[in-house]
Amino acid sequence: MMSATGYRKTPRTGTSAGILIAAIFVLTVLGASPAPARAGGPAPLFVLLSSTAGPGDVSQVSAAIERGGGRVTHRFPGVALIASAPARLVDELAGQPGVAGVFTGAVDLAQLDVFGPQARLVGGVWNSLVNPQEPASAQELAAAEHPLPQNDAFTAPDLPAPDDISLAGSSVRPGYYQTSEYMAGSVAVGIVLVESNGAVDPSTEDWTSDEKQLVFTEIVNALNWWAQLNPDANLSFVYDDHFTSPLPTSLEPITRPYWHEYYWISEAMTALGYSGSNYFSQVRDYDNALRTAYNTDWAFTIFVVDSSNDSDNKFSDYYFAYAYLGGPFLVMTSGNNGYGPYNMDAVAAHEMGHIFNALDQYYNAGQSCTKTSGYLNVENQNSQYGSCSSNVSSIMRGQIYPYTAGAIDEYAAGQVGWQDSDADGIPDPLDTQLPLTIDEVSTDEDTVSVSGTAQIVPWPSPTKTDVTINDLTGVQYRIDGGSWQWVGISSWENDNTSGKFSIEISGFPAGQHTLEVAATDSAGNVTAAPASESVTVFDPVDGALNTELYPVSGQVATQGSSVVNGVAYHLQGKTVVGVEYRINGAAWQPATPVDGAFDSSSEEFSITLVVAEGGPDTYLIEARASDSSGYTEVNFASEQVQVAGSQQYFTYMPLVIK
């Protein structure tokens, strides 16, 4: 629980006369001219959806944003997307089916009314993100701080023992009780306002339209704060709306102690059709339904109680904001003690830290330095309760300043899963292992078929059940240590966390080669130790006889001699009896065997290239082998070599005759 009594920020206003519209419109009904796309890096975009937009249209728009180097941060189903993307995408997105407009600046909310009340609500949120109010000074914020009350992070009483939690999961995916293990990936957020109907308690509070808009705006701002804090976590949020039409309760919650939540939360969840054995099960059922419906990694619920007519904006036992560690929900009053409704974003950001397992750090919470929490089991070494190793401003210490400053300490960050042990840009919980095995390799002329199995092994949690939100995305292969080639595979077994794969590689080079295969996943991981197989492909003309020239490293000198090496071999064991080479189409000359004689089925050889001053800029070297049956290759090995100082580039020119 946090306190900042006596301090109110200026309200964030989303409507003002003469507000700038920077948008490209698909529908001329909005009456604005197209705005040119700006050059440069990622910028915030507001993509307004048309009433005819279907799930496929939204998927295409999201894919276009990601393909263009952006990411969708907020999804408002059937209404809009808020993204961060290069401004050059504006024209492309505006032309997508289901898109009514693409905004790069604040919008005139009155012009959104044609799209319905939800569009105006989301437009108000957008305006608050692109036109944030000026933050108060550090001195003003410090003066507003007050002693903080008791711990506001609770443990849900319905959690089974750790060993039993895994039984509620499937494969390595998060299970029923694991709705917010670490803060990364996609999150469904249910926003639930409750409205007393006077059946038991006298109704003293009534939500107004402006209050509902403000709650919505402040919550999205809080979640956006987390999304912008660590782009590597790739956070995105989708919102389930139960704030425009608050859910009924017979109580007036603000007049009751916080623990009477079991009455009014149960009534609200029952009104939604969730009738579990207790109110925690009801909310968990709702969270899991959201996760399934919106296809997200995590889900949690935010309950907001109206306190606009209450003298201290607190429950009768002085709580005003609290959350359950790891979910399934958090609770706030609309006035949040002295924070006021216009600082709800700072409160919500703090409570969301608890949802993803961050502990309190202010003194009155009584959380010791050595207490651990989170998927990574990180200590609380920035706590003010004790002589901890860290003492820096952080969102988990409460107050408003850490929010306005974007401050989080390394220990709270670790508790929500934001550690990157190997500094590869992938947070540890997403930094999975991808073991892969090759089960079978077959050849058909120059086509090689490879099948095998791959799986995701989650980052191991010291105390929790190991889970991953990553998906297998495909495999990549390379030949003889060359460039990796990626093959996308969209469907795997076990919810895209393991299974069999099969790929075909056409145009495989003749000869004996080393093929390596690795798996890839959605977080950017690649198999650390690729599986490898030796693959033999007969030349379509020369059969088992084959010659290879090794690529020349760098450029040869303008004068003097350089050595080009290669190997000739017979895949069926016949003896290689000679190798010849020619330069720039001149006469064939004998190559030099490295071991002194061409008398085995595999022979390395060398060629001496003499470069004369004033000679050509490039030399084309060709080589061919002969075997003990008297056969000489028709398909030559070739290598083009550049002379130092020339302007040409290396190219490799295989000659294939069929």
- Per-residue pLDDT band for 97 (boundaries 50, 70, 90) equals very high
- The pLDDT of residue 170: 56
Could you read off the pLDDT of 395-411 as tens digits, one per residue? 999 999 999 999 999 99
The span from the CA of 651 to the CA of 620, in Å, is: 10
Check whether 22 has a pLDDT greater than 60: no
Q: Using the 8-state DSSP alphabet, how is residue 170 labeled?
A: B
Residues 344 and 407 in one domain: no
**Domain harbouring 77, CATH code:** 3.30.70.80
- The pLDDT of residue 481: 94
Residues 352 and 375 in one domain: no
Does 521 fall in a domain?
A: yes
Residues 401 and 511 in one domain: no
Q: Average pLDDT in the 69-73 region? A: 95
**Domain harbouring 202, CATH code:** 3.40.390
Instruction: Find, among 573, 587, 583, 572, the residue nearest to 549 by Cα.
Output: 583
For CA atoms 361, 367, 368, 373, the dihedral sign is negative
Check whether 60 has a pLDDT greater than 50: yes
Residue ranges of E strands in 325-371:
329-333
**Domain harbouring 435, CATH code:** 2.60.40.10
Residues 99 and 35 in one domain: yes
CB atoms within 10 A of CB 471: 15
Cβ distance 119 to 35 under 8 Å? no
Could you read off the pLDDT of 123-163 as tens digits, one per residue? 999 999 999 876 655 555 555 564 465 789 999 999 998 76
Cβ distance 376 to 357 under 8 Å? no
The span from the CA of 298 to the CA of 383, in Å, is: 27
Instruction: Find, among 160, 172, 200, 110, the residue nearest to 459 by Cα.
Output: 172
Among 194-208, 241-255, 553-567, 573-587, whose mean pLDDT is lowest? Answer: 553-567
- The pLDDT of residue 642: 85
Could you read off the pLDDT of 230-258 as tens digits, one per residue? 999 999 999 999 999 999 999 999 999 99
Residues 164 and 288 in one domain: yes
Could you read off the pLDDT of 415-468 as tens digits, one per residue? 999 999 999 999 999 999 999 999 999 999 999 999 999 999 999 999 999 999
Check whether 653 has a pLDDT greater than 80: no
Residues 531 and 558 in one domain: no
- Break the chain down into helix, strand, coil percent, rounded to 5: 25, 30, 45
For CA atoms 92, 98, 100, 104, the dihedral sign is negative
Residues 327 and 399 in one domain: no
C-alpha distances (whole Å) from 509 to each of 22, 553, 617, 636, 651 are 54, 21, 28, 13, 16
- The pLDDT of residue 560: 77
Residues 263 and 161 in one domain: yes
Does 279 fall in a domain?
A: yes
Q: Which domain holds residue 162?
A: 150-186+194-224+248-356
Structure tokens at 72: 């969708």
Could you read off the pLDDT of 344-359 as tens digits, one per residue? 999 999 999 999 999 9
**Domain harbouring 620, CATH code:** 2.60.40.650
Domain count, the chain: 5
Burial class from Cβ neighbours inside 10 Å (0-12, 13-18, 19+) for residue 524 reads middle
Could you read off the pLDDT of 585-632 as tens digits, one per residue? 999 999 999 999 999 999 999 999 988 877 888 899 999 999 999 999
C-alpha distances (whole Å) from 295 to each of 186, 298, 474 are 8, 9, 20
Q: Average pLDDT in the 477-487 region? A: 96
- Per-residue pLDDT band for 229 (boundaries 50, 70, 90) equals very high
| Phi-psi map region of 375: left, alpha, beta (phi>0 left; psi -120 to 50 alpha) | alpha
Instruction: Find, among 99, 105, 103, the residue nearest to 59 by Cα.
Output: 99
Residues 163 and 272 in one domain: yes
Residues 372 and 451 in one domain: no
Residues 560 and 484 in one domain: no
Does 241 fall in a domain?
A: no
The SS3 of residue 469 is coil
Does 648 fall in a domain?
A: no
The span from the CA of 380 to the CA of 413, in Å, is: 10
Domain final residue pick, 305, 337, 356: 356
Domain final residue pick, 332, 356, 380: 356
Vertex 229 angle, CA 389 and 154, to 5°: 60
Give strand pairing partners of 642.
618
Does 304 fall in a domain?
A: yes
Q: Average pLDDT in the 26-35 region? A: 35
Helices 117-130 and 209-229 cross at an angle (nearest 10°) of: 50
Does 426 fall in a domain?
A: no
Residues 442 and 521 in one domain: yes
Q: Using the 8-state DSSP alphabet, how is residue 459 labeled?
A: P
